[in-house]
Amino acid sequence: MTRASQTLEPAYFDAKYASEPDPWKFASSSYEREKYRITTAALPKSRYASALEIGCSIGVLTKSLAPRCNSLLAIDAAIAPLNEARRRCAEFSSVRFEQMFVPEQWPDGAFDLIILSEVVYYLHAKDVARLASRVTKALAQEGNVVLVHWTGETDYPLTGDEASELFINLMDQTACVVRRDRYRAFRLDVLIR
């Protein structure tokens, strides 16, 4: 399998969602259901004042995070999944959605929870460095970063392990790893500032 040599651009995701409303089966796969259950159970705090979910897609994880956040900003590079995410999470007035391509674009504000679930491996290493810099500036004191990545083969610029390890190493001066778990098909890492 040939891997992409550059960060995957928004057009890649637009094409995925144009051919299938849920191309990764976030709403129907048992893998995704179990991963989301484990992700929310791994959150170190029971409640967060201000959270950021990067790459929210159709909002399945967003809906699980919303009850634990006073304010949750969910962003994605593609507009089609954001429309579905808004519909899925309509009951939560505390959730906002914005179209943004990270790390090129970044929201204002500080966050005590930043979720990077299956997104860092879409970036080239130089953009992972830019992402880590953005997260460093936006992460509140004692804030958490949660990384979740599939560990199988991909054609993305990085594997799940490469993406996670690179990001963690880049965050070394800002945050420390408090949880590092491997499951059958994914890894979960939790950092605290």
Q: Establish how many alpha carbons lie within 13 A of residue 26's alpha carbon, considering only the half-sphere containing its beta carbon.
A: 22
The band of 159, judged by pLDDT with boundaries at 50, 70 and 90, is very high
pLDDT confidence bin for 1, thresholds 50/70/90? confident
Q: Is 89 inside any structural domain?
A: yes
Q: Is residue 1 part of a domain?
A: no
Is 39 within a domain?
yes
Residue 154 lies in a domain: yes
Neighbour order of strands in the sheet with 139-150 = 95-99, 69-76, 48-54, 111-117, 139-150, 186-192, 176-182
Which tens digit of pLDDT belongs to each residue from 34-66?
A: 999 999 999 999 999 999 999 999 999 999 999
pLDDT at 148 over 90: yes
Please list, in sequence order, all residues whose beta carbon lies within 8 angstroms of the beta carbon of residue 137, skipping any fewer than 6 positions away. none
Q: Is the model's pLDDT at 26 over the cut of 90?
A: no
Residues 135 and 168: beta-carbon distance below 8 Å: no
Domain count, the chain: 1
pTM, full prediction: 0.95
* pLDDT mean over 114-137: 97
| Residue 136 is assigned to a structural domain of this protein | yes
* Separation of alpha carbons 2 and 98, rounded Å: 32
Q: Please check whether residue 44 lies inside any domain of the structure.
A: yes
Domain membership of residue 104 as a residue range? 10-192
Instruction: Name all contacts of 18-25 with Cβ < 8 Å and 24+ positions apart.
Output: 18/80, 21/58, 21/80, 21/81, 21/84, 22/58, 22/84, 24/57, 24/118
Average pLDDT, the chain: 95
Average pLDDT for residues 162-170, to the nearest whole number? 97
Minimum mean pLDDT range among 14-18, 82-86, 141-145: 14-18
Q: Render pLDDT for 83-111 as a digit per residue (tens, 0 to 9).
A: 999 999 999 999 999 999 999 999 999 99
Can you tell me the distance from the alpha carbon of 28 to that of 33, in angstroms, rounded to the nearest whole number?
8
Q: Among residues of the chain, what percentage have pLDDT more than 90?
A: 89
Q: Is 119 inside any structural domain?
A: yes
Query: Is residue 22 included in any domain, yes or no?
Result: yes
Q: How far apart are CA 85 and CA 104, in angstroms?
A: 22
User: Which CATH number do you get for residue 182?
Assistant: 3.40.50.150
